[in-house]
Amino acid sequence: MYTDLKDKVVVVTGGSKGLGRAMAIRFGQEQSKVVVNYRSNEEEALEVKKEIEEAGGQAIIVRGDVTKEEDVVNLVETAVKEFGTLDVMINNAGVENPVPSHELSLENWNQVIDTNLTGAFLGSREAIKYFVENDIKGNVINMSSVHEMIPWPLFVHYAASKGGMKLMTETLALEYAPKGIRVNNIGPGAIDTPINAEKFADPEQRADVESMIPMGYIGNPEEIASVAAFLASSQASYVTGITLFADGGMTKYPSFQAGRG
């Protein structure tokens, strides 16, 4: 637990499912004031709100699609209106789907780039604008992936969005460091979340992915949420412009394990 996160206002996009849900609940446990953004499933968002409140935090839910500029503007405005300020913006909403690149439609490409990269840009921009105008040493955390550095066939749109997020975060970190605003990425590996549910429910596919993870297991959402809590806390006060990989070693060239090569 990080005592300085108590009463901090934290926005989590895509907060009703998967990593977003785990992070929203973790900030609830930290006694933060959590704004749970969701796009479609109000029931799931209300469930997360309830869990946050049971853990001792406060929460509101706000519907919004991160690809829509007015929705992201409204999200930050609502956070400030309801909880009085903004301290931490977590741009987590993301989508992925496999398609051979030569068959990928422009529509599908745009959908993934708009959600993962442009959505994170809009969230970062709105949060940073608020921080600058109100002289707040705030914090932006973007949910990237091991695929900001590992190429991923069939997922060219996803890999491009995460690769873009790497330099977006580094650039924003550099630009706003003089104001004490920190901007970082989290780079999860393979984690048990709804986005992966089908793939990991198949024992063969699950074993195949596990074989690519030096630590030998697929991560839990809570293991990502604890990274978010650390980055948001003052314990990470000198950390900006990084991607903190939480991937069981997936980015460390596991095929070279045991001296191969």
Distances (CA, A) of 191 to 81, 107, 113, 135: 34, 27, 21, 36
74 binds ligand BGC (CB under 6 A): no
Binding-site string for ligand BGC from residue 79 to residue 98, where x marks contact by CB under 6 A and - marks none: -----------------x--
**Residue in 86, 146, 181, 246 binding ligand BGC, rule: CB under 6 A:** 146
23 binds ligand BGC (CB under 6 A): no
Is 158 assigned a catalytic role?
yes
CB 169 within 8 A of CB 187: no
Which of the residues 130, 158, 217, 253 is marked catalytic? 158
CB 223 within 8 A of CB 181: no
36 binds ligand BGC (CB under 6 A): no
Indicate the helix (H) or strand (E) that contains 29: helix 18-29
145 binds ligand BGC (CB under 6 A): yes
CB 45 within 8 A of CB 61: yes
Indicate the helix (H) or strand (E) that contains 89: strand 88-91
189 binds ligand BGC (CB under 6 A): yes
- Shortest Cβ 162–ligand BGC spacing (Å): 7
- Shortest Cβ 188–ligand BGC spacing (Å): 6
3-class state of residue 149 by DSSP: coil
Residues in touch with ligand BGC (CB under 6 A) = 96, 145-147, 189-190, 195-196, 209
Which sequence positions are flagged as catalytic? 158
